[in-house]
Chains A and B, each alone.
Chain A
């Protein structure tokens, strides 16, 4: 046991017993967490990165078994702890910040109660003392007005504040190690930046050891000192942050880094991907786990398990390619693989936007208003507002073959706008003109018929598929809905499957048997079944791993080029938007604050909010860490809009005029429109 390491995991193997056999979730996992450092565990879904935490805190699900291995924490083996020792260990020596503060905090207890419950073992402290201590910690994590807020309940906190409270609860017992399980995944980019900043400053102040589990390379690059890369239950590479990000040796790490859209700096038409799927963890692989998807795989990689090769210091990796003696085996030729579809996409894409015809979609002054209370209730509450404006005076247009990105934080009304355009949410004012017809005037039954020409892709790839229907039935459904039964449905389903690169064997599966990327492809197939002219995609890459994300976007691009589709892409993920959108519209509190050419907006944002969003994305490069949080505060409630420019209370460049006077829309020389008194350019 090395005293400079707080945590040492050696040869950890964890299995899950399922009715279909044992899943080998972790195999031969070994790594160290040095004292006073921030360690990041990176991996895609199914890599076992969270299982490491649960094994370490002995909180594995009922069917999980630690097969063998040792977990030394501060010199003691956690696996030998008794129940009592474990209780003392969890929360006091190692405590966890969870991904979703909404579900990990108790909704019926105020923070004061939850926090004094955490300190239940400090019997000599009175309730009052515990509350005082809680307030101190809450101040430390940047929660204002702690005197009152400590007595509030989780639902009274906003998302970012709730996560801060989660961190406060984890820090309450002054643990030796703070563990973050995807601590920013449920938050917006702007909130994410604030939490990263907070974690970093807390770590510097408390000199504690932090372990971050995440799929987000940007987050890890911004925050961590050491990185452990996991794939399919194994550690494939580990080392110092700079070594991993600048000098990755394992093909998986290299591919993962390549896939991150934020890292691809030129606006490439097609994104790199990792072809193939995660291996079945029921079967122990004979060779390297990554071999079936590896570009450089040798014959040997499929037969022998690679050993750990030390590259430099703590940097080591498990890969045969680093074996200097490999040539003597005479099998160094790489295995021939079928060229994946992604590589055969025609990358010489010309601009297909049709500027001759009038725009296919024309939205004028669209408003969406939700009633939040009845007229009686509003009378009783006097000051209460009856309505909430989710979308305010939005105008936009979309040409054939064009992609427009609709970007904003959660609560900006972007999803509502997308649904209102399709008439899935009633609009209160304004007009939507699609292909020469005014949708807002049409009756529901006429609109239903018109839906063949406009399709929608939903945020949750699996949740947007009817769970009791097979993939085949789901793909063929649009035909039967629009009385195209004459066509051979099965044949059509197979044709669509080919179009989205889905094997035919999937036609008999049910949605829950699909991975996120496969379900997304089914969603694309359904959307495209009737050859629509417009597709509104709501967060098309949400819930997908980086390696799959590129595949879906490439597919969408390819189909656009071949069928002259128009896309309206609703997202908060700026790096993705940058790669696929021709134009961008930035939304804040239901209004479009900036609209124009995507590349220009990225290079020179005109609205301070756009600037904050563009700079808010963490870069997957440890040398480009930001020292300043680009935007403070959170999105105000829609029921309580700020006066004047609605962004003024978060704006860095705020002036007196902004607080009282609402800015008019300005057209900038480069054809951009912006709603700001003092645009950042010219």
Chain B
């Protein structure tokens, strides 16, 4: 009797262990991430960026369009934390609202290019040879264009707007995702488990969606995290050149642009517009690198 009881206890203990063993994989990754200080710092910055952009009205102290001509181009004061610009608008509030533009471009631009890039990349990798060659030709032609020149051409034709900036960002970053997805797909295409799925009679679309996508998406997400600052700087750069967001809308690029004109009178708009750009870039880069370290065991350092 007691033997049976002890057997049962043993079995349930084993079951617990099984569950633990199963959990610990993701827990291990989480603890690895939590122990990465730069990554946590990056995550903090990213969270700050999101929260301040989404809840901009609560963070801003002034209406970003309200002009206070008598106090134009003041340095930081108790009322205007980051000073005012040449029209007397509160720079701090404009920076906070500018974050909304940056977030919009980053979120929409990166997610669309990630999705389209993933799809085209898997098609190129898994599809027939001619499709691969055709898509590669397109990717390479896009990549051979400098982004700014492409944007200049587009603006010259269609006039500056936020949508156009987005379109340029998406078109130019798709090839990066697609190429990465294609390479991973090619490596997976000839593995035994894909062959096993084929031997079970799985449709190619099912194989791509259920079996290739989950194995390809990881590195792409990391690339996306590292791509956000690039996209934000492209938007800021284009707006700085007057090709993106149009005044009076506040964006980090337009703040820099306008501050640049009055840099001899006051450095504050440039400083206030530049700091969030630097912090966001750093934040996403650190986060992306931390994610890569966690998900790519080969890069993990031995202890």
* Pairs across A and B, CB under 8 Å, 6 listed: A20-B28, A448-B201, A449-B201, A458-B192, A510-B25, A513-B22
Please determine whether A464 and B201 come into contact, CB atoms closer than 8 angstroms.
no
Please determine whether B215 and A509 come into contact, CB atoms closer than 8 angstroms.
no
Please determine whether B200 and A509 come into contact, CB atoms closer than 8 angstroms.
no
| Distance of B209 from chain A, by nearest CB (Å) | 12
Measured between beta carbons, the chain A residues less than 8 angstroms from B206 are 481
Asked whether B8 is an interface residue with its Cβ less than 8 Å from the other chain, the reply is: no
Q: A20-B21, A469-B214, A513-B21 are in contact. List 4 more A-B contacts (CB 8 A).
A: A456-B196, A464-B192, A466-B197, A505-B19
Asked whether A393 is an interface residue with its Cβ less than 8 Å from the other chain, the reply is: no
Asked whether A477 is an interface residue with its Cβ less than 8 Å from the other chain, the reply is: yes
Cα of A464 to Cα of B203 in the assembled complex, Å = 17
Cα of A523 to Cα of B199 in the assembled complex, Å = 12
| Distance of B219 from chain A, by nearest CB (Å) | 14
Asked whether A200 is an interface residue with its Cβ less than 8 Å from the other chain, the reply is: no
| Distance of A304 from chain B, by nearest CB (Å) | 18
Asked whether B81 is an interface residue with its Cβ less than 8 Å from the other chain, the reply is: no
Most buried by A among B3, B15, B210: B210
Within 8 A of A (CB), among B159-217: 191-193, 195-203, 206, 210-211, 214-215
Contacts A19-B28, A424-B199, A456-B199 hold; do A62 and B192 have CB atoms under 8 A apart?
A: no
Asked whether B249 is an interface residue with its Cβ less than 8 Å from the other chain, the reply is: no
Counting contact residues on chain B (CB < 8 A from A), the size range is 20 to 34
Cα of A565 to Cα of B155 in the assembled complex, Å = 68
Counting contact residues on chain A (CB < 8 A from B), the size range is 35 or more
Contacts A19-B24, A20-B24, A509-B22 hold; do A451 and B195 have CB atoms under 8 A apart?
A: no
Contacts A19-B28, A451-B199, A455-B200 hold; do A465 and B193 have CB atoms under 8 A apart?
A: yes
Measured between beta carbons, the chain A residues less than 8 angstroms from B68 are none
Closest 9 pairs between A and B when the two form their complex, measured CB to CB: A62-B302, A451-B201, A468-B214, A464-B192, A456-B199, A448-B201, A464-B196, A458-B192, A466-B211
Cα of A451 to Cα of B193 in the assembled complex, Å = 16
Measured between beta carbons, the chain A residues less than 8 angstroms from B210 are 466, 469
Please determine whether B18 and A505 come into contact, CB atoms closer than 8 angstroms.
yes
Cα of A451 to Cα of B31 in the assembled complex, Å = 44
Cα of A510 to Cα of B25 in the assembled complex, Å = 10
Within 8 A of A (CB), among B53-112: none
Most buried by B among A61, A455, A478, A505: A505
Cα of A424 to Cα of B198 in the assembled complex, Å = 7
| Distance of A483 from chain B, by nearest CB (Å) | 11
Cα of A526 to Cα of B198 in the assembled complex, Å = 13
Most buried by A among B24, B196, B303: B196
Asked whether A75 is an interface residue with its Cβ less than 8 Å from the other chain, the reply is: no
Asked whether A531 is an interface residue with its Cβ less than 8 Å from the other chain, the reply is: no
Measured between beta carbons, the chain B residues less than 8 angstroms from A62 are 302-303
Please determine whether A508 and B22 come into contact, CB atoms closer than 8 angstroms.
yes
Cα of A482 to Cα of B193 in the assembled complex, Å = 18
Contacts A505-B18, A513-B21 hold; do A481 and B202 have CB atoms under 8 A apart?
A: yes
Please determine whether B199 and A467 come into contact, CB atoms closer than 8 angstroms.
no
Among residues of B, the one whose C-beta sits closest to the C-beta of A536 is: B199
**Chain A positions 410 through 424: 1 when the CB is less than 8 Å from some CB of chain B, otherwise 0:** 000000000100101
Contacts A466-B193, A509-B22 hold; do A63 and B201 have CB atoms under 8 A apart?
A: no
Please determine whether A463 and B191 come into contact, CB atoms closer than 8 angstroms.
yes
